[in-house]
Amino acid sequence: VWKNCMLFIQDNIQPQAFKTWFEPIKPVKLSENALSIQVPSKFFYEWLEEHYVKLLKVALTKELGESAKLVYIIRMENTYGNKEPFTEKIPSSNRENMVPQEMDVPIKSKNPELRNPFVIPGIRNIKIESQLNPNYNFDNFLEGDSNRLARSAGMAVANKPGGTSFNPLLVFGGVGLGKTHLAHAIGVEIKDKYPERTVLYISAEKFTQQYIESVKKNTRNDFIHFYQLIDVLIIDDVQFLSGKSGTQDVFFHIFNHLHQNGKQVILTSDKAPVDMQDIEQRLLSRFKWGLSAELQTPDYETRISILNNKLYRDGVEMPEEIIEYVAKHIKTNIRELEGAIISLIAQSTLNKREVTLELAQQVVEKFVKNTKREVSIDYIQKVVSDYFEMDVATLQSKTRKRHIVQARQLAMFFAKKFTKASLASIGSQIGKRDHATVLHACKTVDNLAETDKQFRKYIDDLTKKFS
């Protein structure tokens, strides 16, 4: 059937148009008089609907008769926030007001003018995994002075996504203060209240990776269109986008589309918008359209209640003086606060040992000290390639393209500077080079650092990320 349709279509349009818009289509299924075709993207579907629907209709009617139906299946790359590849079924000429039922195409093929555009109710069935963590919800996000504004703004957004002036909602604050928790909580609450809305949580880092991948695979349009399908978009740690102009640009377009269509955007960042560096002005100004709410360091009372809550949930009891000791000494990071108490719980339950103040002191000391991150060669390669918006494989590749070579040399330079690895070992881990190459790279970087201002900036930016 499809073959005949294609022949008919081919006779009726320009060869170039046929090649672009019809050759990529795959027929998938024919059941009774409904033909399902697979198209590469939503954009593709929209284009077909806008430009070729009459032609498709005529062709289909010739083959399947007056009651012919057409179903589009949109295939997306499985990288966009999904574990599984997903397909989206959209019946032909399905605009707004879609009703969940089989569509019915009243094709009047004798009337090619189609003065009354036909609107067909049908199924719209998008499956996008929200990537939300149900363990991060409002119930266990304890309220205190330090988070009251952000928490209630989050609640307001959850009650009326897209319907408040808090769009975007930007939650900012230091490490371990609950940004990720709150971001999930908002999404979880929305899913609960509005199960039919498409919610997606994604870290800015992962978003960037997807974007880079889409550029590599030439599917940038699909990437954009995927994100434009979302009703509530939550992007965690947007400071990660700093200096990444390609990703910022694509996010800008997605943001505008969502915002214009009344969709909710929720962002988190470790800095207030005014302090964000290397983020384009036009994006920063968008961030300020909505509300920026800070998560501050929790006061003593809140820290106590977070600890008590954790103990209560785990069904563990602990002497008050221990709890107070922990709350007094860990002040600026709730993750560390939790880490310390979890460690104490483990000690007391596994070793069946009474938690003494002395033990608490040891644990707390460890937590306060251990927060420095270890720098590995893998980590260096990851940070450098992120910084230059490429992936690690590209950084390691054999190419001699200047910006890639520079990124590779910088990775070698930092590996030498921040790890104890030998030149040979650095070389073998960064794309199987020998020690002479690494030595040369280090010298080149030293030279460029003195002569090239832009290059100096790269080094400074990256050094900050490792220290």
Sequence-distant (6+) residues with CB within 8 A of 426 are 377, 412, 415, 416, 419, 435, 438
139 DSSP 8-state letter: T
Binding flag, residue 86, ligand ADP (CB under 6 A): no
Q: Does the annotation flag 382 for ligand binding?
A: no
Q: Does the annotation flag 180 for ligand binding?
A: yes
Stretch near Mg ion under the rule CB under 5 A, chosen from 179-187, 280-288, 382-390, 391-399 = 179-187
Least separation in angstroms between residue 136's CB and ligand ADP is 6
Residue, CB closest to Mg ion: 180
Partner touching 169 among ligand ADP, Mg ion, none, CB below 5 to 8 Å by kind: none
Closest-CA residue to 117 (of 61, 36, 33, 53): 53
Structure tokens at 361: 């002191």
Beta-carbon count within 10 A of 273 CB: 18
- The CA angle 112-116-120, to the nearest 5 degrees, is 100
Binding flag, residue 334, ligand ADP (CB under 6 A): yes
Near ligand ADP by CB under 6 A: residue from 42, 57, 181, 225:
181
Partner touching 338 among Mg ion, ligand ADP, none, CB below 5 to 8 Å by kind: ligand ADP
Stretch near ligand ADP under the rule CB under 6 A, chosen from 22-30, 104-112, 173-181, 320-328 = 173-181
Q: Does the annotation flag 179 for ligand binding?
A: yes
Structure tokens at 87: 């397909």
Binding flag, residue 180, Mg ion (CB under 5 A): yes
* CB nearer to ligand ADP: pick between 142 and 169: 142
Least separation in angstroms between residue 213's CB and Mg ion is 23
Q: Does the annotation flag 65 for ligand binding?
A: no
Binding flag, residue 248, Mg ion (CB under 5 A): no
Near ligand ADP by CB under 6 A: residue from 180, 210, 347, 437:
180
* CB nearer to ligand ADP: pick between 7 and 175: 175
CB 337 within 8 A of CB 307: yes
Binding flag, residue 175, ligand ADP (CB under 6 A): yes
Which residues share a beta bridge with 235? 202, 267
Phi and psi based region of residue 367 (left: phi greater than 0; alpha: psi -120 to 50; beta: remaining): alpha
d(CA 425, CA 433): 9
Within residues 112-171, the interface with ligand ADP by CB under 6 A covers 140-142, 147
Least separation in angstroms between residue 137's CB and ligand ADP is 10
CB 224 within 8 A of CB 207: no
Binding flag, residue 61, Mg ion (CB under 5 A): no
Near ligand ADP by CB under 6 A: residue from 59, 177, 250, 341:
177
Q: Is the peptide bond between 195 and the residue preceding it cis, with omega within 30 degrees of 0?
A: no
d(CA 60, CA 108): 11
How far is Cα of residue 130 from the mean position of the Cα atoms in its chain?
A: 10
Binding flag, residue 440, ligand ADP (CB under 6 A): no
Helix (H) or strand (E) holding 10: helix 2-12
Partner touching 181 among ligand ADP, Mg ion, none, CB below 5 to 8 Å by kind: ligand ADP
Sequence-distant (6+) residues with CB within 8 A of 92 are 49, 53, 56, 69, 70, 71, 72, 103, 105, 120
Partner touching 124 among Mg ion, ligand ADP, none, CB below 5 to 8 Å by kind: none
Sheet with 87-91: list strands edge to edge: 26-31, 34-39, 69-75, 87-91
Near ligand ADP by CB under 6 A: residue from 104, 338, 391, 461:
338
* CB nearer to ligand ADP: pick between 5 and 334: 334
d(CA 301, CA 278): 37
Interaction mask 299-328, ligand ADP, x per CB under 6 A: -------x----------------------
* CB nearer to Mg ion: pick between 88 and 336: 336
Task: Provide the greatest CA pair distance for the chain.
Answer: 89
Least separation in angstroms between residue 464's CB and ligand ADP is 18
Near ligand ADP by CB under 6 A: residue from 42, 75, 179, 206:
179
Within 199-353, where are the H helices? 204-216, 220-228, 245-260, 281-287, 300-314, 320-329, 334-350
Residue, CB closest to ligand ADP: 178
Annotated binding site: 176, 178-180
- Interacting residues toward ligand ADP by CB under 6 A: 140-142, 147, 173, 175-181, 306, 334-335, 338
- Interacting residues toward Mg ion by CB under 5 A: 179-180
Annotated binding site for ATP: 176, 178-180
